[in-house]
Amino acid sequence: MTTSTQTIDNAILDTIAATDPQVAQIVRAEAQRQEYTIELIASENHASPAVTVAAGTCMTNKYAEGYPGRRYYGGCAHHDQVEQLARDRAKELFGCKFANVQPHSGAQANTAAFMAMMEPGDTFLSLVLKDGGHLSHGMFLNFSGIFYKPVHYALHYDKNHPQHEQIDYDSVLAAAKEHKPKMILCGYSAYPRQIDFAKFREIADEVGATLMADIAHIAGLVAAGEHPSPFPHAHIVTTTTHKSLRGPRGGLIMTNDEELNKLINRNVFPGVQGGPLMHIITAKAVAFGEALKPEFKVYQQQVIKNAQALASAMTEHGFRITSGGTDNHLMLVDLTVKDADLTGKDAEKWLEDAGLITNKNGIPDDPRSPMVTSGLRLGTPATTTRGFKEPEMAMIAAWINRVIESKGDEGTITAVRAEVKSLCERFPLHH
């Protein structure tokens, strides 16, 4: 019998409460929030009880600076074992030769990857944040925009083009030829279509650039073979471990190149980090083990089916899905076709009050600021973990429509909130 998250949370909370009732109360409230709301944020998931508990073990107590077999502290035998296991499982999962499991986060993985691939001041080519990229892909306040020189390729912006709002590979090639970047970066935070890694590599080779793929969002799909792999095309691949991959919050860097692997290792530690989070590496090992099981593939297939069901139900309710649909776990909903005054900011707030957790998100060419936006980003990894399938996606779309059409009417929100809670009760987390 599997233990439910609630049971585990209760045991953990009792332990915390014995020392610190104030913190226990906050975590208890969060456990309730997760249990009785529907998580539609594309970058979030519900890690399994085994992953959650692994992240809370005594493995946190150790300093293990260095790498397995070459540590700066004594007493690391078990940490060597677990880190080697996490590395080996990551390599098997993604079909690559080298894996560094120490990055504390995706942004730190990207920092170390940039340092391994470029010198400060070098030019790299990426998709700009407002079109679906990430902060660490060249945003002016981020290390990537401060210490390196970002230039950007574009999406197709032509309603009559069959690939409207999808990557314009001609623009990638043109920008690559014009700017001669040291590195080309693909992989995104808000892009609903498949990425053609082979095409990116072809372009990189044509201009003598290296290719980096940040697969943070789609890592679970890639691991399960439900999205084409960046290997063997990308020289370096970074990811987070907590999104579609359903592990603990953290980062991972992979490559097939032995020399590059040495640079990666050196730039993670001592380049950007000190002691690794060994409890998180322990939980990564557990999560990678889960992802190697056949049921993980079935899960990822359902993630995509659910995203497609949700996208078509949203379209039937009169919303526009950017690029006309989704191939992966997420979609961007253009709210303005429904009502020109509607903003992502208002929709996110009304939906949260109704128990539907989303995030406002710019749509391609969005005239509104990132704090307001004209769109919502919806994703299905967390709801699929919960056991939802296509019928529940239709219910979610209908609730989103009701709440938005009511313009945040209190009575509607209260009614939807009750229906959401009752569906959550039918699908307890990790029952």
The residue at minimum Cβ distance from ligand DSN is 43
Q: Which helix (H) or strand (E) holds 24?
A: helix 21-36
> Does 106 help bind ligand DSN (rule: CB under 6 A)?
yes
Classify residue 149 by its DSSP letter. Answer: E
Q: What gap in Å lies between CA 321 and CA 375, rounded to an integer?
A: 9
> Does 134 help bind ligand DSN (rule: CB under 6 A)?
yes
For residue 68, with 0-12 CB atoms within 10 Å meaning exposed, 13-18 middle and 19 or more buried, which class applies?
A: middle
Q: Which helix (H) or strand (E) holds 39?
A: strand 38-39
Closest separation in Å from C-beta 406 to ligand DSN: 27
> Does 43 help bind ligand DSN (rule: CB under 6 A)?
yes
Nearest one of 333, 281, 321, 326 to 306, comparing CA atoms: 326
Classify residue 99 by its DSSP letter. Answer: E
Please tell me which residue in 87, 243, 246, 417 is annotated as part of the active site: 243
Q: Between 59 and 98, how does the x/- string for binding to ligand DSN read (CB under 6 A)?
A: ----------------------------------------
> Is 30 annotated as catalytic?
no
Complex with ligand DSN: residue 49 or 364, whichever CB lies closer: 364
Q: What gap in Å lies between CA 84 and CA 412, rounded to an integer?
A: 52
Please tell me which residue in 36, 63, 199, 297 is annotated as part of the active site: 63
Q: Are 320 and 308 a contacting pair, CB within 8 Å?
A: no
Q: What gap in Å lies between CA 257 and CA 274, rounded to an integer?
A: 24
* Dihedral pair phi/psi, residue 237, rounded to 5°: -130, 125
Length reported for the chain:
431
Please tell me which residue in 37, 240, 282, 326 is annotated as part of the active site: 240
> Is 417 annotated as catalytic?
no
Classify residue 259 by its DSSP letter. Answer: H
Q: Between 206 and 225, how does the x/- string for binding to ligand DSN read (CB under 6 A)?
A: ----------x---------
For 21, half-sphere exposure in the C-beta direction (CA atoms, 13 angstrom radius) is 0
Closest separation in Å from C-beta 238 to ligand DSN: 11
Complex with ligand DSN: residue 53 or 139, whichever CB lies closer: 139
Complex with ligand DSN: residue 100 or 241, whichever CB lies closer: 241
Closest separation in Å from C-beta 296 to ligand DSN: 21
> Does 182 help bind ligand DSN (rule: CB under 6 A)?
no
Complex with ligand DSN: residue 13 or 218, whichever CB lies closer: 218
Of the candidate residues 108, 189, 265, 385, the single one contacting ligand DSN (CB under 6 A): 189
> Is 63 annotated as catalytic?
yes
Closest separation in Å from C-beta 127 to ligand DSN: 13
Q: Between 284 and 303, how does the x/- string for binding to ligand DSN read (CB under 6 A)?
A: --------------------
Complex with ligand DSN: residue 189 or 255, whichever CB lies closer: 189
> Is 249 annotated as catalytic?
yes
| C-alpha separations of 249 from 39, 138, 277, 287, 380 in Å | 16, 22, 11, 11, 18
> Judged by CB under 6 A, how many residues of this single chain contact ligand DSN?
5
Determine the residue type at 394. A
Distant-in-sequence, close-in-space partners of 377: CB < 8 Å, separation ≥ 6: 41, 42, 190, 330, 331, 332, 333, 358, 359, 360, 361
The residues assigned a catalytic role are: 63, 65, 214, 240, 243, 249
Footprint of ligand DSN (CB under 6 A) = 43, 106, 134, 189, 216
